[in-house]
Chain A
Amino acid sequence: MSSSAENPTLTTEITKPSTEIATETAQSAKKINLKTSDDQIFEVEESVAMEFATVKSFFEDAPSSTDTVPLPNVPAKPFSQVIEFCKEQIKFKANPDETEKKKSNSEFVKEKTNEDLVEMIPVANYLEIKDLLDVLNQAVADRIQNRSVEYVRSFFGIDNDFTSEEEALLREEHAWAFEDVDED
């Protein structure tokens, strides 16, 4: 059969990239300590930490100056979720697959509460993780899409600073937008 002739080439093709991946992980096994604003220390693989542009430039500016990088604007809770995201992202760097990446991103977002998402935004912003910021902005937009004004306010914890007359006028101006919004 012709399949027996194809087999050897197939196996060499598979083994070649897998050895490359193995050496890559061996090189990047170095760990970096990151200290959050609430004084928790995260030991993170260097490859993950380099996803954070802010941390990366910290090391570029002062190579091997400290063992622990302080992250004064980053609380531990959202940070642990950000690390979770970046670990997933790295898998796709070695093996790009847009459909799988999208699937993994939407899985990541789906299981997060509104509060989780909103708290991760400033962390992603501070650490300059563009991919994550895009994912979060889209996820937040999806969650306030078709919702009422009151829902959006409580989602972000925003106070209504209109007078009742102003608000009535605005609602009149945008009346068409208030038909069939989703239940809160």
Chain B
Amino acid sequence: MEGNVKEKRPRFCVNDHVDILMEILKRLDGRSLCVSACVCRLWCTIARNDSLWEHLCFRHASPPPSSGVRPVIVALGGYKRLYMVCVRPVLSRLGRLRIAGDSDRDRRVWTRDGVQLSLSLFCVDYYERLGRLGGGGDASGGSSLMFLCKPVNV
């Protein structure tokens, strides 16, 4: 007891309220969600929860994709992968294109076309991984979707 004297009252511990913690993490961007995964074991487990990534992938989408795409995305590798491989690079590219005058990043809205594009890219990513798993293709191995991350001269 004596050791706890300096703590006058029990401080609220967010780790005792997983539902609240989920609500907070749901409001972070992908980068901060990855930082969160390194906070402690509990946060690490929660930050791997695909429902958080599902929310993150399409929270800017209007209208959001129908629930029918969920099984497809899960089968192709899940929402975290979708975010990392397709949504994030596309979003950051769009962000670079409209730096001027766009201070509010969260206002960015994805149309149905944006969603369709990211899903198509995800299919490409899956197809390439299939090829690599089968031992086919060249040994250099890099995903052709890397063009999303690097500037391309056309």
Contact = CB atoms under 8 A, between A and B. Distances in A.
Given A118-B12, A121-B20, A145 B40 contact: no
A147 B28 CA distance: 11
A177 interface: yes
Contacts of A38: 9
Contacts of A158: 13-15, 39-40, 43
Chain A residues touching B, majority SS: helix
Interface in B55-113: none
Interface residues of A, number: 36
Nearest to B32: A145
B37 to A, nearest CB: 6
Contacts, number: 87
B41 A161 contact: yes
B142 to A, nearest CB: 16
A170 B41 CA distance: 11
Interface in A133-168: 133, 137-138, 140-142, 144-149, 152-153, 156-162, 167
A176 B12 contact: no
B17 interface: yes
B38 A149 contact: yes
Contacts of B11: 118-119, 157
A167 B41 CA distance: 10
Contacts of A174: 34-35, 37-38
B23 interface: yes
Interface in A93-137: 118-119, 121-122, 125, 133, 137
Contacts of B25: 141
A171 interface: yes
User: Which interface residue of B12, B27, B44 has the most chain A CB atoms within 10 A?
Assistant: B12
6 closest A-B pairs by CB: A177-B34, A141-B27, A174-B34, A177-B31, A137-B23, A149-B38
17 contacts: A119-B11, A119-B12, A121-B14, A121-B20, A137-B23, A137-B27, A138-B27, A141-B24, A141-B27, A141-B28, A144-B36, A145-B29, A145-B32, A149-B35, A153-B40, A158-B13, A162-B38
Given A161-B40, A177-B32, A178-B35, 7 more contacts: A137-B27, A145-B29, A153-B40, A156-B14, A158-B40, A160-B40, A177-B34
